[in-house]
A and B are shown apart, each in its own frame.
Chain A
Amino acid sequence: MFKILVVEDDRDLNRTVCSFLNGSGYEAVGRVDVNSAYDAMYGNAFDLIVSDIMMPETDGFEFAKTVRALNEDIPILFMTARDDFASKQRGYRIGIDDYMVKPIDLDELFLRIGALLRRAKIASSHKLEIGKLRLDMDERTAEYDGEEIPLTTREFNILYKLLSYPGKTFTRTQLMDEFWDPDTDTAPRAVDVYMTKLRGKFEGCGEFEIRTVHGLGYKAVLK
């Protein structure tokens, strides 16, 4: 069972978030200030941290910085009333993984925690498994039903990205920025060619499908 540390100075909010998470199949531990959160972390290995920013004494930025220095991989989610861009930017620069503005929707918190944990697992194992499909990031190989499907590096990277975030649509430009040389003269439409190739190569694969979203971009949908 995943263990989640909730650092939030408002006791009511802390209690509701913890009992919600406990009721949703996680083991949540609530702490009302950063120092007691450090204490809790000594004896326990947590899989994810949910933290407020504005807290007495040490604030969330400081907390996240310290945690990041000790552990590069643990997902940190900020849950804060501050909705200005500067705070978000500062948070992400420190290395947090997600940011939610209060008042938060508990159902959404649940979805985001699920996504963060899944990505953390993919990130730490460098492997992705969906039904009979296996992708190995280190070897850059794709296997379906034990049979290797030959992919170019770029095809593999695009597929790995889409399957790491199932249901999320990426625009052509987002994919270009990530997988093409920044100096390339290729038009964003070149992405379309890769999608056609990938669809062709995984025609027999019933586990997922690459969908075009209204001329805006592409997403992988799991079945």
Chain B
Amino acid sequence: MKKAKRHAAWSYFIAFFLLTAFVITSSMMLFLNYFAKSAGVEYTRSNLFTAALVTFGNAVFLALLCTGIDAIRRKLMVDRPVRAIVEAARRITGGDFTARISPKAATGASDGFEEIIDCFNTMADELAGVETLRTDFIANVSHELKTPLAAMQNYATLLQSPELTDDKRTEYARAITEQSRRLADLITNILKLNRLENQQIYPAAKRYNLGEQLAECLLNFESTWEKKDIDIETDLEEEVFVRSDDELLSLVWSNLFSNALKFTQTGGTVSVTLKTEGDMAVVRVEDTGCGISKETGKHIFEKFYQGDTSHAAQGNGLGLALVKRVVDIVGGEISVESEVGRGSAFTVKLRRAADGEIQKGT
């Protein structure tokens, strides 16, 4: 490093020396020629020698001066911002995502450092965001995993007590069943999401009747809506075909249906419609449940985001993340409209498969 610096200083000096020497020699020659012609002065050997020596010294001095000034300029306008950038980059590499570069580090506005620093700070912001998500995710996973475990442990301890009434025993055993079911659902969802996120997915493309899939999927929830006395309204356009991965999409529908039924109170209504808009198939799942606020709506497709921050509602906040991921994979669109207290409506748009006559070859 030091050696390289000395080397660089020498080459700067030589460059400046050659430049100044060239400039001075040229101007001297011009000046002297003109002077000798107009004043008629004769050059003697000795005063020529002295003049050359003085000129040489002059050139050396000027070159030194230029090198010095250039070194100072460099120090202020290049070295300082470079050092600031290098320092911040090192901190980020070390895992400190709070590192930012002060814009003051770039003194000259025109040399591009400002732009680099701007970009760098944006990158650091993004990285910090991702890092927060990751730590939040881990915190959420451990919370969601440990809560049911803790509950099961407690109930199992309670069950060991010898003077327990039969009612209590049944109640505790049922609670353990309930909690383990919750844990099982969560683990299933985490694994599914993990499979969708970390593995290269090659969605199968099969032409199938979307309305039929919706009907069959909805029928899996028959016992749920009968138990909660929820009215089901369906308006499914017939003969709507899509070319997509039916197994992946059935994850979307069952999550949307189970959410709609979960958040709708007894006696409410859940409606499912399938319409076509141009070459798109539009599925709408609407409920008269508790609805979600605008703020919640923005984050609803994020992992572990739950409208109810106390984590009290059933579910684990992974369902809609799964839905979003699948819709992205199959190249569809999903949106949500909701009003607190009135209900929510999820809309999924998928590209329709070409009509019957075109697919004869398949």
Contact = CB atoms under 8 A, between A and B. Distances in A.
B234 A214 contact: yes
19 contacts: A83-B188, A101-B188, A103-B181, A169-B219, A171-B215, A173-B209, A173-B212, A173-B215, A174-B216, A213-B222, A214-B232, A214-B233, A214-B234, A216-B215, A216-B218, A216-B219, A216-B232, A217-B215, A217-B219
B219 A103 contact: no
Contacts of B235: 215
A105 interface: yes
Contacts of A103: 180-181, 184
B115 interface: no
Contacts of B216: 171, 174
A188 interface: yes
Interface of A: 83, 85, 101, 103, 105, 169, 171, 173-174, 187-188, 213-217
Interface in B152-203: 180-181, 184, 188
Contacts of A215: 234-236
A188 B238 contact: yes
B357 interface: no
Contacts of B232: 214, 216
A174 B222 CA distance: 17
Q: Point out which of A101, A174, A214, A215 has the most chain B C-beta atoms below 10 A from its C-beta.
A: A214
Given A171-B216, A216-B219, 20 more contacts: A83-B188, A85-B247, A101-B188, A103-B184, A105-B181, A171-B219, A173-B209, A174-B212, A174-B216, A187-B238, A188-B238, A214-B232, A214-B233, A214-B234, A215-B235, A215-B236, A216-B215, A216-B218, A217-B215, A217-B219
Interface string B229-255: 000111110100000000100000000
Contacts of B218: 216
A187 B239 CA distance: 9
Contacts of B212: 171, 173-174
A188 B212 CA distance: 11
Contacts of A216: 215, 218-219, 232, 234
5 closest residue pairs by CB, A with B: A214-B232, A173-B212, A103-B184, A171-B215, A216-B215
B159 to A, nearest CB: 15
Nearest to A86: B247
Nearest to A107: B177
B132 to A, nearest CB: 32
A117 B265 CA distance: 37
Interface residues of B, number: 18
Contacts of B247: 85
Contacts of A171: 212, 215-216, 219
Listed residue (B180, B181, B209, B222) with the most chain A CB atoms within 10 angstroms of its CB: B222
Classify the interface of chain B: helix, strand, loop or mixed: helix
A77 to B, nearest CB: 18
Interface of B: 180-181, 184, 188, 209, 212, 215-216, 218-219, 222, 232-236, 238, 247
A103 B234 CA distance: 33
B225 to A, nearest CB: 9
Nearest to A103: B184
Contacts of A101: 188
Contacts of B180: 103
A34 B238 CA distance: 48
A214 B235 CA distance: 10
Nearest to B180: A103
Contacts of A83: 188
Nearest to B250: A85
Given A105-B181, A173-B209, A173-B212, A213 B238 contact: no
Contacts of B236: 215
A200 B181 CA distance: 45
A215 B180 CA distance: 36
A187 B209 CA distance: 13
The listed residue with most B CB atoms (<10 A of its CB), out of A174, A188, A213, A216, is: A216
**Among B188, B215, B222, which residue has the most Cβ atoms of chain A within 10 A?**
B215
Contacts of A174: 212, 216
Contacts of A105: 181
A149 B206 CA distance: 43
Nearest to A214: B232
A67 to B, nearest CB: 27
B148 to A, nearest CB: 12
Nearest to B233: A214
A217 B180 CA distance: 34
A103 B178 CA distance: 12
Nearest to B231: A214
Contacts of A173: 209, 212, 215
A101 B247 CA distance: 16
A215 B212 CA distance: 12
A105 to B, nearest CB: 7
A112 to B, nearest CB: 14
Nearest to A173: B212
A103 B236 CA distance: 34
Contacts of B181: 103, 105
Nearest to B248: A85
